[in-house]
Structure formats: structure tokens, C-alpha cells
Amino acid sequence: MKIISVEMIKKLFPDAIERTYEKKQIVCHDGDKPNTVYFILEGHIKLYDIDDQGNEKILHINGPNNLFPMLYAYNYTKEIDGFYACLDKTRLLVIPITSFKSTVDNNHELAKTLMDWFLGEIQELIFRLSAMEKNDARNKILFALKSLSLYYSHREGSWMAIDFPITRQFMADYTGLARETVSIAMSELEKDKIIRRNLSKEIEVKVDALPISF
């Protein structure tokens, strides 16, 4: 959902600096206290945590026209909780946090836009939680793919191509399932022609094979 436009952000923050990050590069570490806010021009960022067993757990994904880390920017946390890392090559606008806060306080249009954006983030979170509640691996993966296809894909005929690389390990980290379980379920979905890989190695999902609702 691209509510926040590039034009708006560049106009409001003309001194923002553009930076490029490579795939897997970490932008913010757990415990960081950055003095900046990031606006995504291109690419995708995952927010993840690491459990006591050393397993990565993906908490959220931010795509183009999204801002992060917003809980920290609004003082809901005193430091970054988790890690923000690039799922693919990513271009960011780096905005001083003091400038961001003062502009939000004094610009009604930006404040309203951010409110609308937050509501979209809540809706995505609800869809994600619904997918996580499914009991069997196949359905959990299907609903996870539906959530990803709603927010991070583009249409290719009767297929939806996910905009960033989807590996077995990514789906394990995203769903909380074991990698071996994900591998078996994904192989079955490919065999049933519900998912496939295109020439760009993107995962494509058959639109009419996805669950109708969450």
C-alpha cells in the first residue's frame, strides 16, 4: 500500500541523503539508537529477531514507500528492537529524526498520511497473524503466500509474482515452521502448480489457487 509518496517525502525533507544497501546488509542492529528515520525508495527490508536457539524470526516486512523504525521514532521504544536487514538491493532516503518529528508535529497533511499508513500496517499485521494461526503446514504457507502477494507482488497474467526472493529458509523464518517442513510443503505446492518460479527466479503464486479469505 503506497500511501506515502516519494514526492511528498523529498519535498518535506530536501536535505535527506540517499543511500544504497546490498542484499542481506543490516541497516539497524538490535539495541541501536539511531538519529535517523529511513524511507524506502526501492527494495524491501525485513525486521527480524533471533530466538534463544539462534533461529531467525521475521516479524515484519517493509517495502517501497514505507518508513522505519517508526516505534522508535515515536518513542514507543528506547532503542531498536530486532534487526532491520535488506531482502534485496535497497535504496533508502535517510532523514534526521529531529527533522522528521518536527515536520510531523507541524504538517497536518503528513500527520494524516502517516495515520492512514499506520492503519494499513495494522491490517497487514492482522492478515499475518491470521496466517500464523493455521494448523497444518500447507495452509500456513498458503495463507502466508496470500499475505505476501497482497502487499509485495505484481501481476503476471493469472499469477502473482512476489517482488523479492523467496527461499525455503525465508518461508521457515516467516512462518515459524521447520525448514524441512517448508521444503516438503513448497515442493507439493509446485507439483500441484499452485506456485512456480519464473525466469527471474521470483516465486509466482496462482491467483485462483489462493485462499479466498483469511
What are the tens digits of pLDDT across the range 133-165? 777 888 889 888 988 988 899 998 889 999 998
Computed from CA positions of residues 121, 122, 127, 130, in that sequence, does the dihedral angle turn out positive or negative? positive
6-127 fold: Jelly Rolls (2.60.120)
Whether the predicted pLDDT of 79 surpasses 70: yes
For 95, the grid coordinates are 532523514
Whether the predicted pLDDT of 181 surpasses 90: yes
Whether the predicted pLDDT of 201 surpasses 80: no
**Residue-level pLDDT at 135:** 77
Q: Are 82 and 59 in contact (CB under 8 A)?
A: yes
φ, ψ at 107 (rounded to 5°): -125, 105
- Where residue 119 falls among pLDDT bands split at 50, 70, 90? confident
**Residue-level pLDDT at 2:** 54
**Residue-level pLDDT at 127:** 77
pLDDT tens-place string over residues 30-71? 999 999 999 999 999 999 999 888 889 999 999 999 999 999
For residues 19-27, give the mean pLDDT: 97
Decide which of 130 and 60 is more confident: 60
Whether the predicted pLDDT of 24 surpasses 90: yes
Domain 136-209: which CATH class? mainly alpha
- Where residue 121 falls among pLDDT bands split at 50, 70, 90? confident
**Residue-level pLDDT at 200:** 74
Residues 6+ apart with CB under 8 A from 31: 79, 80
**Residue-level pLDDT at 52:** 87
Instruction: Give the residue ranges of DSSP H helices in 52-163.
Output: 70-73, 97-106, 108-132, 137-151
Task: Please work out, in degrees rounded to the nearest 5, the angle formed at the alpha carbon of residue 111 by the alpha carbons of 105 and 112.
Answer: 150
**Residue-level pLDDT at 80:** 94
Instruction: Give the residue ranges of DSSP H helices in the chain.
Output: 6-12, 70-73, 97-106, 108-132, 137-151, 168-175, 179-191
Whole-number mean pLDDT of the chain?
90
pTM, to two decimals: 0.88
- Where residue 183 falls among pLDDT bands split at 50, 70, 90? very high
Please check whether the two domains, 6-127 and 136-209, share a CATH topology: no
Segments making up each domain of the chain, as ranges: 6-127, 136-209
Alpha-carbon torsion angle 114, 116, 122, 123, nearest 10: -150
